[in-house]
């Protein structure tokens, strides 16, 4: 298309316009000379080559991680029940959120009935102990009677030999001695019964004293009270909902699920980076690995402890990564690695052309892919959409702005 200014000149003075244009073109040809045909084709090809974003193979720390997710749970939750049933709760002295020490009083139960039961048991014990003393006195009396009967029998036998005592008198002495021995044996048996009664009464008194102690509900260990179901004025029961729930030591940790194929990569002590709802990023450590996998979900579980406990609440969602390996290695953007099903490859840029380069790829982390073999540090490869290019294609490499 002829420029407007040329059209106007040509319209005004066609002959002058033709002569001026010929002179201009002739001068340009003399000044620059004709371009070689090959150079013209080369410049045209380079100018028309597509621009591709490249990523550079760099050596850096490669971190292998396993994703996990789960919820915060108490490491050990203690259920506290009243140890006596059927009594009225008089006082509630601890509530949810309180931090308590071992032995702290949490609640008190009305103890009047328990005190009366203890007094009754102690009275029974005293009565049994009196029975022991009575049995001992009976033994003393029976043994004295036995001694007298044995002595009388000995005299009767002596007199019977001299003819002073008849046979009937001797028989009476023998019977009296036997009766005295039986009475002594019975008295000793009575002492054993009385002593057993003392032991039984003492045990009942101990139970009554223990029940009275249980009228005061105390913390079995230090920790954080996470729930309270007991109410002042309610009747105690040793079943149903616990009176209190206590987080032992206040320690809360993460119970996370792990896919079964990755469970074997994790070891106790592995560091973990967690993201906890409302708290952000928190560091942790694998404490426990479950020896079983859920057959329905094919997931295993691990327990993760956190360094800081402030702000942790049971039931809150958490996710993160377990760091299972760290090592130095070569890597590129993961999008640069292509897979055909039989091989992995990248398109390396050399002298403005692409080279199909097979590689052995390793782990993927943070949008990067480890390259085990096939590339050298500093090599540039097509960062993405390599499937649209082929081996030998001319390209203009453009470094990626952010990798």
- The Cβ-side half-sphere exposure at 290, using a 13 Å CA radius, reads 16
Coil, helix or strand at residue 312: coil
Same-domain pairing of 84 and 118: no
* pLDDT tens string 61-117: 998 899 999 999 999 999 999 999 999 999 999 999 999 999 999 999 999 999 999
Lowest mean pLDDT of 159-168, 229-238, 393-402, name the range. Answer: 159-168
**pLDDT above 90 coverage of the chain, percent:** 56
Could you give the percent of the chain with pLDDT greater than 70?
85
Q: What's the mean per-residue pLDDT of the chain?
A: 84
pLDDT at 257: 96
Domain finish residue from 213, 238, 260: 213
Q: How many Å apart are CA 314 and CA 329, to the nearest integer?
A: 40
DSSP 205-255: HHHHHHHHHTTEEE-SSSEEEEEE---TTPBP-SSSS-SEEEEETT-EEEE
The per-residue pLDDT for 165 is 63
Contact present, 233 and 89 (Cβ < 8 Å): yes
Calculate the dihedral angle through the C-alpha atoms of 138, 139, 140, 141, rounding to the nearest 10 degrees: 50
Q: Are residues 276 and 147 in the same domain?
A: no
Cα–Cα distance between 69 and 257 in angstroms, integer? 6
Q: Torsions phi, psi of 320, nearest 5? A: 170, -160
Confidence bin at 366 (pLDDT 50/70/90)? confident
- Exposed, middle or buried by CB within 10 Å (0-12, 13-18, 19+), for 290? middle
Q: Which helix (H) or strand (E) holds 204?
A: helix 167-213
Residue 32 sits at φ, ψ, to 5 deg, of -105, -20
- Residue 174 forms part of a structural domain: yes
pTM as predicted = 0.63
Residue 315 reports pLDDT greater than 60:
yes
> What is the phi-psi region of residue 27: left when phi exceeds 0, alpha when psi lies from -120 to 50, beta otherwise?
alpha
State whether 309 and 378 are in the same domain.
no
Q: What is the pLDDT of residues 115-161, one digit of tens each?
A: 999 999 999 889 888 888 887 877 787 778 778 777 877 777 767 77
Domain CATH number, residue 306: 2.40.30.170
Burial of 284 (0-12, 13-18, 19+ CB in 10 A): buried
DSSP-based three-state secondary structure for 273? strand
> Is residue 188, in this structure, part of any structural domain at all?
yes
Q: What is the rounded end-to-end Cα distance, in angstroms, of the chain? A: 46
Domain hosting residue 361, numbered range: 51-62+328-399
Residues 286-314 pLDDT 10s: 999 999 999 999 999 999 999 777 888 99
Let me know whether 309 and 336 are in one domain. Answer: no
Same domain, 303 and 155: no
Residue 361 to residue 343: CA distance in whole angstroms: 10
Task: Give 156's Cβ-side CA count (13 Å radius).
Answer: 18
In a domain? residue 234? yes
Q: Where are the alpha helices (DSSP H) in 79-166?
A: 112-162
Task: Mean pLDDT check: name the lowest of 5-19, 166-180, 340-354, 360-374.
Answer: 5-19
Are the beta carbons of 243 and 58 closer than 8 angstroms?
no
**Better pLDDT: 223 or 12:** 223
The number of folded domains in the chain is 4
Strands 280-293, 244-248: pairing is unpaired
Specify whether the CB–CB gap between 100 and 106 falls below 8 A.
yes
Is the same domain home to 121 and 143? yes
d(CA 74, CA 53): 50
Highest mean pLDDT pick, 133-142, 228-237, 305-314, 360-369: 228-237
Structure tokens at 316: 């809150």
Summarize pLDDT for 157-214 with one digit per residue, the tens. 767 777 666 777 767 777 877 887 887 778 778 778 888 888 888 999 999 999 999 9
Residues 338 and 347: their CA atoms lie apart, in Å, by 9
**Does the residue 3 lie in any domain?**
no
Could you tell me if 121 and 203 lie in one domain?
A: yes
Residues 272, 197 share a domain: no
Dihedral of CA 234/238/239/244: which sign? positive
């Amino acid at each position: 298309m002829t420029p407007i200014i040329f059209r106007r000149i040509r319209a005004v003075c066609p002959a002058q316009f033709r002569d001026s244009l010929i002179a201009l073109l002739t001068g340009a040809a003399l000044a620059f000379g004709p371009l070689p045909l090959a150079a013209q084709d080369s410049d045209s090809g380079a100018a028309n080559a597509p621009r591709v974003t490249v990523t550079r193979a760099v050596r850096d720390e490669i971190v292998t991680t396993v994703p996990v997710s789960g919820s915060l749970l108490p490491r050990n939750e203690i259920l506290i029940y009243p140890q006596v049933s059927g009594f009225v709760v008089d006082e509630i002295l601890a509530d949810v959120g309180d931090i308590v020490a071992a032995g702290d009083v949490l609640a008190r139960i009305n103890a009047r009935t328990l005190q009366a039961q203890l007094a009754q048991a102690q009275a029974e014990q005293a009565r049994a102990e009196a029975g022991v003393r009575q049995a001992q006195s009976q033994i003393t009396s029976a043994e004295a009677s036995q001694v007298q009967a044995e002595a009388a029998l000995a005299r009767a036998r002596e007199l019977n030999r001299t003819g002073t005592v008849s046979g009937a008198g001797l028989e009476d002495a023998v019977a009296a001695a036997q009766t005295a021995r039986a009475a002594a044996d019975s008295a000793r048996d009575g002492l054993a019964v009385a002593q057993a009664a003392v032991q039984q009464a003492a045990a009942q008194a101990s139970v009554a004293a223990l029940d009275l102690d249980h009228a005061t509900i105390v913390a079995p260990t230090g920790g954080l009270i996470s729930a309270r179901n007991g109410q002042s004025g309610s009747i105690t029961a040793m079943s149903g909902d616990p009176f209190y729930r206590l987080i032992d030591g206040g320690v809360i940790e993460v119970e996370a699920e792990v896919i079964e194929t990755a469970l074997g990569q994790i070891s106790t002590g592995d560091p973990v980076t967690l993201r906890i709802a409302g708290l952000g990023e928190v560091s942790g450590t694998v404490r426990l690995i479950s020896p079983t996998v859920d057959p329905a979900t094919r997931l295993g579980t691990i327990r993760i402890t956190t360094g800081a406990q402030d702000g942790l609440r049971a039931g809150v969602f958490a996710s993160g990564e377990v760091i299972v390996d760290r090592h130095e290695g070569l890597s590129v953007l993961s999008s640069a690695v292509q897979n055909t099903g039989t091989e992995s490859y990248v398109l390396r840029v050399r002298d403005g052309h692409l080279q199909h380069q097979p590689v052995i790829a390793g782990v993927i982390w943070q949008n990067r892919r480890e390259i085990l073999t096939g590339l050298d540090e500093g090599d540039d490869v097509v960062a993405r959409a390599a499937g649209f290019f082929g081996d030998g294609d001319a390209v203009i490499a453009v470094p990626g702005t952010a990798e």
